[in-house]
Structure 1
């Protein structure tokens, strides 16, 4: 199945995401460490939005006893994940689709990185509730995505800052600004306060911010 991806696709995806997300590898490392506070050495972890395989690669390398269920709607991205994972791919069971296509669990931990900002508020809440239902009591959940202030000109300010980050990393200014315009138009971004409130509404407790990088925020919580 890994041959379904064109040569270099995984590498180009990894480079593109790394340019857009400050401290991407550190985000993955932090998420793995926070999960490991409660996930046993032979635990089972649900990774929602697993296409591309970058966080799976980091988790698998640092925690050799973990097994994973990766969920993603794109077979092309799943193929890239298998290419990136190499031999570690044998520890991952992939499921094509969304949260409703994930196994029932119960899982010892879960992550959803750089995914939930695509979902409108109500669908985001429903997804979080379905994630919560699949976790053992007290199991950790880490999520991270675009989340920044929206009122009183703050949305445009943070989008300009995001564009400046991209330009400083070598992205042409016109391309960076076009990307910010697309984000403003298409992504149903919430504020950090709203995102934290959704976690609580979905049943999660001990919600704590652990990652903040310009427009991106990340939280750890317990089921």
Structure 2
């Protein structure tokens, strides 16, 4: 969540499933809201694309809530997908996991798509390309949900420090949180709310709307 592309290859990624729920405020509710938002246009036996599926937490949550849904998950890290395979083992008959990025995903068309805690690793051109690839695979009128770190106003590092303090728990000191925020600000290509919305529209999505805000995290739902 706060690393770079190469960090996904670390064998310690198995800890992701345990650590992420405590690091991301309201993650379980984010998964519930995501399922609800996709369900508005994904009735019945829907196919859902999950980009950045390593770990498998969002697939696990959606599969448990919607036994009629099938999933295709892509992630550039084979190690992360191994973890996802373990996380989603109860739903193996409904889940396809593919090593790669959005361009490697099945062509669909899909009834909905999700990209959680992933896009903040991508620069502008990579992000736009990823969004375009997702849009191309969606049925017209279906929903796409994205959530990740964003640059919040003029106090980007303040909000990143608050996220870092939340993730660090009671033992995290203010200097530690500030140092973590500075590292994230330097490493992650974060965009303002206005820039985020503009990228979604450039990729061909309609009516991007903010539905989730938690310290430096923001989540949008939009229509293909």
CA shift at 1:89, angstroms? Answer: 2.1
Tell me, yes or no, if the aligned pair for 2:34 and 2:145 is still in contact at 8 Å.
Answer: yes
Tell me, yes or no, if the aligned pair for 2:165 and 2:172 is still in contact at 8 Å.
Answer: no
Q: 1:101 and 2:104 equivalent? A: yes
The residue that corresponds to 2:172 in the other structure is 172
Q: 1:124 and 2:134 equivalent? A: no
Structure 2 unaligned blocks of 5 or more: 1-10
The residue that corresponds to 2:210 in the other structure is 209
Matched residues in 2 for 1:163 and 1:79: separation? 27
**Aligned with 1:52 (options 51, 55, 59):** 55
The residue that corresponds to 1:181 in the other structure is 182
CA RMSD in angstroms, aligned pairs only: 1.9
CA shift digits 1:131-182 (9 cap, x unpaired): 101111111100000013353xx12221232233234x23533654443222
TM-score normalised per structure 2: 0.89
**Structure 2 vs 1, CA of residues 69 and 149 (structure 1 numbering), >3 Å: closer, same or farther?**
same
TM-score normalised per structure 1: 0.90
Tell me, yes or no, if the aligned pair for 1:166 and 1:176 is still in contact at 8 Å.
Answer: no
CA shift at 1:40, angstroms? Answer: 2.1
Matched residues in 1 for 2:20 and 2:203: separation? 28
Matched residues in 2 for 1:176 and 1:203: separation? 37
Q: 1:193 and 2:194 equivalent? A: yes
Report SS of the residue matched to 1:22.
coil
Structure 1 unaligned blocks of 5 or more: 1-5
CA shift at 1:9, angstroms? Answer: 6.3
